[in-house]
């Protein structure tokens, strides 16, 4: 069973290449530093998720995504819609810059991003100093954990720790929409 970590302990674990379980707006997530290829590939192996699907990143502020989003590829009104929805439970597939590694975007030309309003998730991003991978802390194809006691023991056994806190209580994972069109990819 993974140890419960404070935000400071969790940020230190991330800096060492750790993979952590932490609460988000709706479900328990599993994440790591998105620019640490080995950590991301380890996270994907834990989840049994193929790299070509891509993963969501969360941040404490839109500025933490500045190098990753090609804002010029969006009409101004679409960019305004995205910015106005953050922070909050809104994940957007945005045009990616070349700075987004393939192990994050997968087979997509976009990157899925959310500025989290969840207190612990945002605090973890601030303490880490940048965005984090944020995918549900379950094996691929299995239901997500809305409560800590629902976390899969196999996932917990392979993670480097669990952040303190509880989920934000949303009834479903955050929707994912295409920033360019508003099309819903996941409702």
Spans of all domains in the chain: 4-181
d(CA 72, CA 115): 19
Predicted confidence (pLDDT) at residue 75 exceeds the cutoff of 70: yes
Q: Read off the pLDDT of residues 19-36 as tens digits, 9 standing for 90 and up.
A: 999 999 999 999 999 999
Q: Is residue 184 pLDDT above 80, yes or no?
A: yes
Average pLDDT over residues 83-106: 97
**Alpha carbons 22 and 168: distance in angstroms, whole number:** 11
DSSP 69: B
CATH number of 4-181: 3.90.870.10
95: β partners: 110
Confidence tier at 2 by pLDDT (50, 70, 90): confident
Per-residue pLDDT for 1 more than 70? no
Q: Say if strands 184-186 and 162-163 run parallel, antiparallel, or are unpaired.
A: unpaired
Report helix angle 119-128 to 7-15, nearest 10. 40
The pLDDT of residue 145: 96
Residues in the chain: 187
Question: What confidence score (pLDDT) does residue 186 get?
Answer: 84
pLDDT higher than threshold 80 for residue 37: yes
Residue-wise pLDDT for 119-178, tens only, equals 999 999 999 999 999 999 999 899 999 999 999 999 999 999 999 899 999 999 999 999
| Mean pLDDT (the chain, rounded) | 95
Report the distance separating Cα 131 and Cα 35, nearest Å: 9
Cα dist from 38 to 19, 35, 44, 45, 92, whole Å = 10, 9, 10, 10, 25
pTM: 0.95
Alpha carbon separation from 117 to 26, 37, 89, 91, 105 (Å, rounded): 11, 26, 7, 12, 23
């Amino acid at each position: 069973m993974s140890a419960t970590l404070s935000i400071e302990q969790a940020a230190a674990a991330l800096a060492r290449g750790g993979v952590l379980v932490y609460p988000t707006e709706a479900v328990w997530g599993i994440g790591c530093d998105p620019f640490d290829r080995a950590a991301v590939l380890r996270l994907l192996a834990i989840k049994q998720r193929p790299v070509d699907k891509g993963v969501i990143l969360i941040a404490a502020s839109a500025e933490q995504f500045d190098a990753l989003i090609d804002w010029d590829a969006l009409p101004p009104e679409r960019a305004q819609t995205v910015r106005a929805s953050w922070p909050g439970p809104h994940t957007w597939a945005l045009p990616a810059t070349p700075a987004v590694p393939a192990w994050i975007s997968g087979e997509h030309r976009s990157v899925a991003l959310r500025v989290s309003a969840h207190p612990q998730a945002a605090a973890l991003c601030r303490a880490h100093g940048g965005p984090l991978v944020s995918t549900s802390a379950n094996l691929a194809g299995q239901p997500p954990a809305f409560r800590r006691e629902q976390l899969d023991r196999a996932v917990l056994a392979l993670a480097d720790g669990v952040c303190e806190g509880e989920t934000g209580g949303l009834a479903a994972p955050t929707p994912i929409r295409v920033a360019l069109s508003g099309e819903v990819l996941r409702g």
